Amino acid sequence: MCGIAGFFDGNADFTANREKYENILQKMQQSILHRGPDEQGIYLGKRAGLAHTRLSIIDLKDGSQPMSRRRGKNSYQIVYNGEIYNAGELRKMLQQKGWRFQTTSDTEVILLAFLEYGPEFVIRLNGIFAFAILDERHDTLYLYRDSFGIKPLFYTQQNGMVLFGSEPKAILSYPGVKAQLDEKGLCELLGMGPARIPGSGLYHGFSEVKPGCYLTVNRYGLQNRQYWRLSSHPHEDDYDTTIAKTRQMLVDVIERQMVSDVPICTFLSGGVDSSVVSAVCAAKLRRQGKQLVTYSFDFTGNQKYFKANSFQPSQDRPYVDKMVEYLGSEHHYLECDYQTQADLLYDSVEAHDMPCMADVDSSLVYFCQLVGRQHKVVLTGECADEVFGGYPWFHRAEFLQSGTFPWTPDLAPRKMLLLDEVRESLPMDAFVQEMYDRSVREVTILPGEDEIETNRRQIGYLNIRYFMQTLLNRMDRTSMHSGLEARVPFADRTLVDYIFNVPWEMKAKDGLVKNVLRQASRGLLPDEILFRRKSPYPKSYDPYYETLLGTRLQQEIEDSKAPILQIVDRKKVQKFIDSTKDYGKPWYGQLMAGPQMLAYLLQINYWLKTYSVELI
């Protein structure tokens, strides 16, 4: 993986002041150096500047970027972040058409495919990616993002110029760009956060290329084009065929994503999702005479304070032990202490350039730091619940009929700490409802579906477009913060498109959650793991952590200049700090309960202060 950044103006000549703009490119590049510490490069042309930081994984010697190719007298440039899993097949197709390759990198495959097939070539790519292609013949810049937004790509327009980057910090490095938050952004931060609206960059004037889309930018303006969308269509396979096809796709997808010129590893939680990924990887490596390396995460002393609830019924460690023995992997048990978890809340803000999933994020920042010291590539079990229907909101009537985002069923916990004037003037309820209604309108309903099946299709779509995106953002930022590339096989486009249309009577046959995944994975791992009840990413239960957060937040709000006091009421926050927290009633997803609200407020305050965010 890598980091990309740059700027474009169809009426400019940046080469007339080369030193100035090369210095700007280098500043943008340095801001995202963590995404690619192995090699850096910049390119400056008349209309555009491109910057790249590289994490070397494929073609370690010749894959440098920006990469340039000529067609006749015309020059084309690319900066790319991602991995193309069908690069080998595309390479053969292009060679048959007469193209000659100078490297073995997938970067060159992308650029030559663009030259051969034109801008719509992107639908041919199977992978995770965000890249920019500069067509100097037509003075046009193209910005592409993968189908599910696994790789980030932000942009903004300023005085006729388009600025872009893998992270907002690259854009904020450009002279004159300010960090501002308007009413819409505040509604998103407080009403939907840590989720983000597809295409939103949170900051005023910032956007993100939507998943499955690309932008065309030239002197005539900016145009968004959608090359792929999740579609509804009748499922025509019978049950046995569905299971067989799913298994075939699973194994193929996971094995494809093992492509690398450096050793891979996996995250192993002991749940079905990460265990399936690890099992397929271990089997393939075993055939090559190699041993899989696996990592699991927990919190120091968590076994003492763990509290089972409907969202988190069991601890992971006993199941991790069983899988390690089954796989024969070289396993590493990683633990995070509560001081570190709290300290890294601010690092996770800097990884995202905005508040995020509080300690769910900060702990993963820490774990990825440790893994990143030994590996550059990891495969994860992320996204299986969104795709196969693993969350409670797929099953329980109160979620199915809620008429809003099921992972945020009630805005009351979010509004109770606000200043009265902010709560009364900010249209949070209307904003969230409009985002929900707008998203639901995107779902195509099939004529034969009843109301419950329709609700499940809508929730499935919302999960993929919103909740899954939050987790993908978390995985990318926390891993790339330490130069670690995370791959997510369950977010494969072909697999998701197929499973999205499998009827619920198959997905939850005989009441078994994620039935299709479990049945398709029979024989890959022990039944005890395969049919284990879902338990999400571990969270902390030690009361010391809650006390630590409360003390830190209290210290922040005692400062009358604390920027968060523009939003929250000090007395209400103090009362909340002093109250007993309910760990079993999350205000977002399954993991963010009372202590995470404290952590989220700390992150908001730090973000407003450190980034000098102006409320407008």
Task: Report the pLDDT averaged over residues 235-264.
Answer: 96
Summarize pLDDT for 365-415 with one digit per residue, the tens.
999 999 999 999 999 999 999 999 999 999 888 888 889 999 998 999 999
Residue 117: enclosing H or E segment and its boundaries?
A: helix 106-117
Range with the poorest average pLDDT among 45-54, 534-543, 584-593:
534-543
Place of tokens 């749940």: 271
pTM of the model: 0.95
pLDDT at 55 over 90: no
> Does the pLDDT of residue 299 top 90, yes or no?
no
DSSP state of 210: P
Whole-angstrom Cα distance, residue 136 to residue 78?
Answer: 11
Q: Count of alpha carbons within 13 Å of 8, Cβ hemisphere only?
A: 28
Residue % of the chain over a pLDDT of 70: 95
Q: Which of these, 358, 411, 351, lies nearest to 552 by C-alpha position?
A: 358
Which candidate in 2, 187, 213, 336 is catalytic? 2
Q: What distance in Å separates the CA atoms of residue 539 and residue 368, rounded to the nearest whole number?
A: 16
Both tokens of 124, joined, read 């041919």
pLDDT exceeds 90 at position 581: no
Q: Are 206 and 154 in contact (CB under 8 A)?
A: yes
Q: Report the distance separating Cα 481 and Cα 452, nearest Å.
A: 41
Enumerate residues 6+ apart whose C-beta is below 8 A from 328: 282, 286, 291
Interior/surface letters 245-268, b for 16+ CB within 10 angstroms, e for the rest: bbbebbbbbbebbbbbeeebbbbb
CA 180 to chain CA centroid, nearest Å:
23
Q: Interhelix angle for 272-287 vs 317-327, to 10°? A: 20
Question: Which helix (H) or strand (E) segment is 236 a member of?
Answer: none
- The pLDDT, as a whole number, for residue 424 is 96
Residue 469 is predicted with a pLDDT of 96
Indicate whether 46 pLDDT > 90. yes
> How high is the pLDDT of residue 261?
85
List Cβ neighbours of 580 (8 Å cut-off, separation of 6 or more): none
Lowest mean pLDDT among 101-110, 312-321, 429-438: 312-321
Q: How many whole angstroms separate alpha carbon 394 and alpha carbon 402?
A: 12
Q: DSSP labels for 154-202?
A: EEEEETTEEEEESSHHHHHTSTT---EE-HHHHHIIIIITTS--TTB-S
What is the sign, positive or negative, of the torsion defined by CA atoms of 264, 291, 521, 319? negative
Annotation says 356 is catalytic: no
What token pair was written down for 581? 């927290």
What is the pLDDT at residue 313? 56
Cis peptide before 595 (omega within 30 of 0): no
Residue owning tokens 């699973």: 250
Predicted pLDDT at 68: 95
Strand blocks (E) in 245-387 = 264-267, 293-299, 330-336, 377-379
Residue 314 has pLDDT above 60, yes or no: no
438-457: average pLDDT:
92
48-54 and 2-8 strand pairing: antiparallel
Residue of 27 and 594 predicted with greater confidence? 27
Neighbour count for residue 205 (Cβ, 10 Å): 15
Window from 55-64, 157-166, 270-279, 502-511 with minimum mean pLDDT? 55-64
Asked whether the predicted pLDDT for residue 57 surpasses 70, the reply is no
* HEC readout, 70-93: EECCEEEEEEEEEEECCHHHHHHH
Report residue 123's pLDDT band, with 50, 70 and 90 as the boundaries: very high
pLDDT at residue 538, as a whole number: 66
Residues ≥6 apart with Cβ < 8 Å to 99: 112, 116
pLDDT one-digit tens code per residue, 563-576: 999 999 999 999 99
Beta-carbon contacts of residue 6 (< 8 Å; ≥ 6 apart): 25, 28, 48, 49, 50, 51, 79, 132, 163, 164, 165
**pLDDT, average across residues 293-321:** 75
What digits encode the pLDDT tens for the residues 513-541? 999 999 999 999 999 999 988 766 666 77
Between CA 587 and CA 594 the distance in angstroms is: 8
The pLDDT assigned to 438 comes to 96
Q: Residues near 211 by Cβ (< 8 Å), separated by ≥ 6? A: 145, 146, 147, 148, 149, 198, 465, 469
Confidence label for 612 from pLDDT (cuts 50, 70 and 90): very high
